[in-house]
Amino acid sequence: MKRVFAVLGDPIEHSLSPLMHNAAFKALGMDCTYHAFQVNKENLKDAIKGANALGFGGLNLTVPLKEEALKIVEPDSLAAAIGAVNTVDFKEGIRGYNTDGIGAEKALIDAGVKIGGAKVVIIGAGGAARGICFQLARCGADVTIANRTPEKAIQLADDAAVIGNVKGCGLEQLDDLIASADILINCTTLGMYPHVEDSIVTANQIHEDLVVFDIVYNPLKTKLLMEAEKAGAKTVSGVMMLVYQGAEAFRIWTGVEPPVEIMKKAVIGALIT
């Protein structure tokens, strides 16, 4: 019988996860299919329990469901510490994992970026920011979370302080933070299709020694990445984070090594057409 997997989110029409995972299943000859479903926070518990009852193989979760899911699933120690879940597996109950941080780490390494000892500024304090903050702090980066609501950034920094050196603040300090940073990561949805002209910062705030990583992957080249290129900075696309976090979820669900290059090709092919 065909095994069903899905991504849940609100909104969800922008997701390329179905293309990516279905390409992987096809390449490996696996009798599986992956779909996208729009689910709001209020219905998340019913959706997860329903997927389990229907025999789904697993789920991914995206904005704004990652933190809400923590109340519903049995998280592993990393997801519990992070406070957000983006992957759900049903093999032994309803287990929750967070692969966002691993995806971000591998995307940076893939781009030749050194993480250990780097000064990292993360903009945003939502589910993805939590995963990335914990992972990069664990890798030895000096992380600052800057968020529109300072209290949320400070709370995340306090939560992650057990892992490494993490601070939180409001956006009013952003110019000074960027000036001394090695890596800037946008963990907000600003610039996501269809709002493609939005950018969290502009070229005049960016220096040429900065690495600018935008986890938004649609469009392929966001306004933020264009501004970074104008400033002569190195850029990292959110596509590779999507691919690597998806590959880690694939391993969790199936125990099979994912075809990363095929997954990457499927995503990029959809974005440039």
Handedness of CA 22, 25, 26, 27 (dihedral sign): positive
Q: Could you give the residue numbers annotated as active site?
A: 66
Contact 60, 7 (CB under 8 A): yes
Any idea of the CA torsion for 48, 249, 132, 186, to the nearest 10 degrees?
-80
Distance in angstroms (rounded) separating the CA atoms of residues 69 and 229: 37
